[in-house]
Amino acid sequence: MKICNKFILSSACFAGLIAVVLTGSSLWKNQVTKNINRKLDKSGQAIEVALQLEIDLKNEIDALKDDVLLNNKMSNVEEYQNQFNANLLRLESLIIDAKKIDEIRRRHGFLVRLSEEVRQGKKTSSDADLAVFQQDFRAINSFAKDIELFLDDLTDSAHEQIILVQKEMDEAHNTYQQVTYAIIIGILLIFISQFFLIMLPLINS
C-alpha cells in the first residue's frame, strides 16, 4: 500500500513538473512569435515608407519643375519637402541603419537648398538663362538619384531582414517541436521506469 502511495505521489509530482515545463515552453514560443511578428511588421512598414519616400521625392522634383519652368505658382514644393522629411523621420524609427538615413537627409538638404536657389533665380533672371536652369536641374536630378539609390538599399535590407526573421521563426518552431517531443519521450521513460521500479515489485509480491 505504501508503495502504491509512493507511486501516486511521484506521478503527481512529475505531472506537475510536466505542466510547468509545457507551460514554460508554450510561453516561450508565444513570446518568440510575438517578437518575430513585431520584426516582420517593422520591416514591412520600412519598405512601405521607403517606397512612399521615393514617391514624395518624385512629386517634389515634378512640382519644382512646374514652378520654375511652367511658372506654376500653385506648385506644392514645400508641402512635398515637408512630407519627405516627415516620412524620413518615420523611416528612421523603423530601421537601425542610421548612416544611410543621415546620407539621405544630407543629400535632401542639398537638394532643398539648390531648389530654393533655382526658384529665387527664376524670379530675378530672364528666359535667356534657361541653360543655367537646365544645369541646376541636372544637379538636382543627381541628388535625387543618389537619394533613390540609398532608399533602394534600405528597401533591399528590409527584404533581407524579412527573410532572416522568417528563418528565425522556422528555427523557433523546430526548437519548440523538439522540446515537445523530448518532453513526451521523457514522460514515457519515467512512467516506464516507475512501473518497473515501483509497481512491478508490488505486483510480483
Q: Dump pLDDT digits (tens) for 38-94.
A: 888 998 999 999 999 999 999 988 888 777 776 656 568 888 999 999 999 999 988
Residues in the chain, total = 205
Grouping H, G, I as helix, E, B as strand and the rest as coil, residue 93 is coil
In the chain, the amino acid numbered 164 is L
CA-nearest of 47, 44, 38, 46 to 169 is 38
Give the model's pLDDT for residue 128. Answer: 45
Give the model's pLDDT for residue 149. Answer: 92
pLDDT, tens digit, for every residue of 94-128? Answer: 887 778 899 999 999 988 888 888 777 665 555 54
Which residues make Cβ contacts (< 8 Å) with residue 151, sequence separation at least 6?
A: 50, 53, 54, 104
Alpha helices in the chain (DSSP H): 2-69, 77-92, 98-124, 130-194, 200-204
pTM: 0.73
